Structure 1
């Protein structure tokens, strides 16, 4: 299961770095903000990316998610984190990623955010990647080292 943790962490870490670059104003991998916003946001009328603080917040959340597989295996210990929050965090990440992946493949979602190339990239990359990340967290669930304190 360590390999699943490594793959999840690297994947989420790279996505976090990308969001961090956007928070700093980079349009990479596109040429400009308009192309980037239409590629990653999906609103055909949008010409600029969301506020930089929003991309920074997403980057921070993704960095936390990138650490979580190792938190689940107790390979990383966060001193002030109560142990019962470890499985709760895992379930929250599963809900977010499986939910985003599944909803992103529905006709409703395509009507909500109809902009191209977002629709195509969402169908080919974004939603399947979210589903795989969610499945990766599900695969790690049996390995959570969790003990309830006996009082």
Structure 2
């Protein structure tokens, strides 16, 4: 069954709000949100961002992401990346990231695409380098329990960007 993608709609919010199974998963994809994720929190994030996108598999929404930075001929930063629990390990995150990368390079003619991933998020840390992302900075953050965590920033340069 092939995956498809499209712009997110109001009708998708219910599904996306249910993707994070606990506070830690929500922190990984939306650090500023409070668990459980509500329509209001997600709607506000979408309003402040660009190109909210969902992936469908078998007619069900299984993944979501957007850009929190989108600069024409500059940097596009992918955020709020999340996959439904039932679709994890089935290629939905890879497919979603490939679509967001393609959108950044084609629509925005981005010189680079960035994504950030917390050190505890093994799935993201293992996926992003397979897509060509390379770490370029580490930022200290504090999680919702007050513990120190590392936010690893990664980038993928356009084939047209000079080093």
TM-score bucket of the superposed structures, by smaller chain: 0.3 to 0.5
Which structure carries more helix by proportion?
Answer: 1
Bigger radius of gyration among the two: 1
Structure number with higher relative contact order (C-alpha < 8 Å, ≥ 6 residues apart): 1
Task: With the length of structure 2 as denominator, give the TM-score of the two structures.
Answer: 0.33
